[in-house]
Homo-oligomer: A and B are copies of this chain.
Amino acid sequence: MSKRDKQTADLEFVAGNGLIHRRMFLTQGAAMAGSLGLLSATPSHAEPLEIPPWMKAPGSHMSAYGQRSRYEDSVQRVVGGTPGVVGSGVSFTPIEKLHGTITPNSLHFERHHSGVPDIDPDGHQLLLHGLVDRPLVFSMDALMRYPTVTRIQFLECSGNSGTNLGPQAQQAPAGVLHGLMSCSEWTGVPLSILLEEAGVRRGANWVLAEGADAAGMSRSIPLEKMMDDAIIALYQNGERLRPENGYPMRLFLPGYEGNMSVKWLRRLKVNREPTMTRDETSHYTDVMLGGKALILTFPMGVKSLITSPSTGLNLTEPGRYEITGIAWSGAGKIARVEVSADGGNTWAEAALTEPVLSKSFTRFRMAWQWDGGPAVLMSRAIDESGSVQPTREALTREFGERRNYHNNGIQVWSVAARTGEVTNVYA
């Protein structure tokens, strides 16, 4: 047998073009042994090891607030502004350079309508009023005394993946195509507690949420959602919220389009009807076939994305690769992620990282033997409600070409034969 034949003889292929059974990940080692030898090398000598320069003198001291290695400085959010509008724009999480499920706070995506306000928490308060028995106002100190809950959940801008709605597939890193989403551990006060304390009156169905940014960004939220799993988030990944994530407090609505989780929250008004604010009529509406538009479309659809390989992360030589990515759904837990290496002709089930949490990122992994030929990589997620991530083609057939939001279509990566170059394609 040739070296490559030996490598692949004991593998359990489960779908076309080299996909390997996820059992490989479950056995942790045994099934991988012997077949990954290409990646490591035989040392020229074992001892004594060469002493690198950084072992020849003491390193730097402990620090009060750590920073990352200077060798990682290139891992950054990509900032995109709206021409002519000060403080309006986005920054994209570089998802192709991250791993696991948590997004570091410094790299959480941004979408602002009038920049990031510099709020003094001692001068900030939250008003709860409208159709309630007792209007209430909460200082920061008061709110910090309330009972809290902690959950790991994603946040996704409803405009995420909008580039792929255009007529031509653009070549950009996965983060620029899909990085208006992040996942954090959020800790905050359940809205239900505050609403019960105020006493919601009969006839109330909606709550207006208003931010303390210069745009006064405002959205209407169903009262039912507010009483279910909505929180006033105070902490993000253990520390207090970052300014660009709503410091000192933000609304957080698990699974709903990001814009509704109003940052720098200063007011909640209980109403009978949605307020029809600028932000829910001029933006964040879905233009349909025939020109009509859907408004007040809240939950984010079931979605997944291969982050590696992806544009810019080219394959270097034939051999074993880990295909990995993330899946999420606004409807609950991810039930299954399937991966194809032959453009959707055959699919195999990926391994999911435990614990699989509701309305959270789920990391999936698939072992793959690339033979050096052409490959077309796709992933599709299925959530616990049974919803299946659609193809771009199916979405276009249903909604037409003018939609700007809620694109949960399958991302297709083409791998070129021999060169291993990865490109974004519409398949």
Contacts and interface: CB of A to CB of B under 8 A. Distances in A.
Interface string A83-101: 0001101110000001111
Contacts of A138: 39-41
Interface string A106-122: 11101010111111110
Greatest chain B CB density within 10 A among A61, A87, A138 is at A61
A401 interface: no
A87 B61 contact: yes
Interface of A: 24-25, 28-30, 32-34, 36-37, 39-43, 46-47, 49, 52, 54-72, 75-81, 86-87, 89-91, 98-108, 110, 112, 114-121, 123-124, 127-129, 134-139, 142-143, 145-150, 185-187, 190, 192-197, 212-214, 216, 227, 234-235, 237-240, 242-244, 247-248, 266-267, 320-322, 324, 353, 355, 357, 363, 365, 367
A44 B99 CA distance: 49
29 contacts: A29-B193, A30-B192, A34-B196, A36-B197, A43-B135, A46-B135, A47-B129, A54-B117, A55-B213, A55-B216, A58-B87, A59-B214, A61-B79, A61-B116, A62-B91, A62-B116, A66-B105, A66-B108, A66-B110, A67-B242, A68-B239, A68-B242, A70-B118, A99-B235, A100-B186, A100-B187, A104-B237, A107-B238, A237-B237
Contacts of A237: 100, 102, 104, 237
Contact of A100 (B117, B128, B136, B185): B185
